[in-house]
Structure 1
């Protein structure tokens, strides 16, 4: 379980996928806020500026002008600048002008017919009752090492779906792979059994009814099973598609306690033990309960391995429960 979620946490694909399953460990949200705060505008040397505009223009296949006056520095010293039309962006090292990434939309023809077929087959394997047709443009991120193209990330979209492909430069030892895929559904497309499973899980964890309004079926490289994420009102629930096992559940309207002085570790174990047994089929009696002061929640640990993460509100109701490490929640 933790290995699987660690894989999700290390994937850098698209904000869409991060939003889908929240696969960022707690603390990353604060880091993101700090990142936004630390962004500083920088001056770009004329020679480097010309190099950057030439590179983006070659990538786009047409002349592109950059908003050089709006370039800003991320933490770790990387500088980012967008094109005037907002369609392209480039990340680079300010000291040398070495390019890290260029991102923008390109024709679907940039993706080979074989790769397109492989992606379509993956979508059909996930859910065969939909028709999948790619849009004519693909979001492409070209990465560089030592000023040479090292890998290319493609994000392909169509009606109700998105899928990504990572391709490495010829001669590298890394293998190309489908990074992630997400298929969106309306409630009327969902299996009644899934809706029943979801309602029972939310009732168990949050003690409230659950009316699903929308859903996504997601796949991530490194996972054996696809995962459903179901939403309704303030509640989000994720279950494995094949087994129906709950991965996590949370209610964003509930406010978690911010200190373990209001609820002790012993009380938490007593409160969530019956819920964990029914929701995750997990006996937590032998697990150690640890308060995480940075994330403001409780971790249930065995041999330094987090088996479950829980937050409660002031009325001792569950705010969220994760089978394993916590992940970033939607705001």
Structure 2
């Protein structure tokens, strides 16, 4: 399977890998599409598609191309409902519905110099905010648009740093930079390692050799260290300033594959307020040394928010069985750190 053939579908997966805020948010909208490469099934040539569909694709790519001329190249993949078409010169990809001709997803690539100065300045300022001593060089720029997101993703060489911005407002959504664990305060590494071993219920689990310093206004995060294990089953956030555990996740417990499925499964709340507090209390006390007595509870799909005046807020999510698989703690005022 050619790497470029599935890039239109894999871009969202890439966001998940490079920007922690997307893990658990973008599910399998495109990953579940099961796109087949050209080697598995004969594909039509681009000229065989309806001229109006071709024109629609051109306009969709050009609409986010910042004035750069984009030319469609060939169909490189498909699934039962969509075609994947790539642009010439590795400029991007587009996913289009076979029956309706509707564009489902569009991705355009740029050099850093091709994007407007205000974006360049915002990206470099954000990265310097993560580490003022480090030199960052942006080597990859993409704009990705689909029904739920319209974003810019800037990445440095070897994906060692990334910045995600809202394409319409140009506001930074999240940013991160990777470091070897030996470059990080040992006390923070120790806290993360202990938490991940407890999440995994085994001492044999090992931390990844790198971790990311991370910020996200969307998640109310000022600056945290994001650690994970080598099997990508567990992750934790440790406050960069406080050195305290502020988030834990066991992605192995996730048993739904899309936002649509999640919304359907949890259309009716799994827990009453009282039972949610009862179920979450032991873990909240374990991870954050916080008693949920007197807390109120609100629920949206599978996410439960525990609030109490003058106290930190807890957010936690459950799987289909009602098992809480992720917890985070946020100060009543200010951001996680």
Classify the TM-score, shorter chain. 0.5 to 0.7
Give the conservation status (yes or no) of the 8 Å contact 1:91–1:100. Answer: yes
Deviation at 1:283, TM superposition (A): 1.2
Give the conservation status (yes or no) of the 8 Å contact 2:250–2:325. Answer: yes
Q: Which residue of 2 aligns with 1:139?
A: 142
Give the conservation status (yes or no) of the 8 Å contact 1:165–1:179. Answer: yes
Aligned to 1:180, the other structure's residue is in SS state: strand
Gapped runs of 5+ residues in structure 2?
Answer: 1-10, 37-42, 256-271, 330-337
Aligned length: 277
Higher RCO, 1 vs 2 (CA within 8 Å, ≥6 residues apart): 1
Q: Which residue of 2 aligns with 1:212?
A: 207
Give the conservation status (yes or no) of the 8 Å contact 2:196–2:228. Answer: no
User: Residues 179 and 15 (structure 1 numbering): CA distance in 2 closer, same or farther, change over 3 Å?
Assistant: farther
Alignment pair present for 1:48 and 2:53: yes
Give the conservation status (yes or no) of the 8 Å contact 1:71–1:81. Answer: no
For 1:197 and 1:65, the matched residues in 2 are separated by 50
Give the conservation status (yes or no) of the 8 Å contact 1:277–1:283. Answer: yes
Q: Which residue of 2 aligns with 1:156?
A: 154
Give the conservation status (yes or no) of the 8 Å contact 1:204–1:279. Answer: no
User: Residues 189 and 205 (structure 1 numbering): CA distance in 2 closer, same or farther, change over 3 Å?
Assistant: same
User: Residues 22 and 115 (structure 1 numbering): CA distance in 2 closer, same or farther, change over 3 Å?
Assistant: closer
Equivalent residues in 2 for 1:1-331, closer than 5 Å: 14-19=12-17, 20-21=19-20, 23=22, 29=27, 35-36=32-33, 44-50=49-55, 52-53=57-58, 56=61, 59=65, 61=69, 63-67=71-75, 70=78, 73=81, 81-83=85-87, 87-91=91-95, 102-135=106-139, 137-141=140-144, 153-159=151-157, 160-168=160-168, 175-202=169-196, 205=199, 208-209=202-203, 211-213=206-208, 214-222=210-218, 223-233=220-230, 234-250=233-249, 273-285=281-293, 307-309=315-317, 320-323=325-328
For 2:135 and 2:215, the matched residues in 1 are separated by 18
RMSD: 5.1
For 1:300 and 1:54, the matched residues in 2 are separated by 42
Give the conservation status (yes or no) of the 8 Å contact 2:107–2:144. Answer: yes
User: Residues 197 and 54 (structure 1 numbering): CA distance in 2 closer, same or farther, change over 3 Å?
Assistant: closer
- Give the TM-score of the pair, scaled to structure 1: 0.60
Deviation at 1:183, TM superposition (A): 0.8
Aligned to 1:66, the other structure's residue is in SS state: strand
Q: Which residue of 1 aligns with 2:40?
A: none
Q: Which residue of 1 aligns with 2:262?
A: none
Aligned to 1:197, the other structure's residue is in SS state: helix
Aligned to 1:226, the other structure's residue is in SS state: strand
For 1:30 and 1:54, the matched residues in 2 are separated by 26
For 1:29 and 1:14, the matched residues in 2 are separated by 9
Deviation at 1:18, TM superposition (A): 2.7
Partner deviation per Cα, 1:268-293 (whole Å, 9 max, x = no partner): 9889745422412321356799xx9x
Gapped runs of 5+ residues in structure 1?
Answer: 1-12, 145-150, 169-174, 257-264, 325-331
User: Residues 155 and 31 (structure 1 numbering): CA distance in 2 closer, same or farther, change over 3 Å?
Assistant: closer
For 2:94 and 2:173, the matched residues in 1 are separated by 22
Deviation at 1:190, TM superposition (A): 0.8
For 2:167 and 2:277, the matched residues in 1 are separated by 46
User: Residues 203 and 267 (structure 1 numbering): CA distance in 2 closer, same or farther, change over 3 Å?
Assistant: farther
Aligned to 1:229, the other structure's residue is in SS state: strand
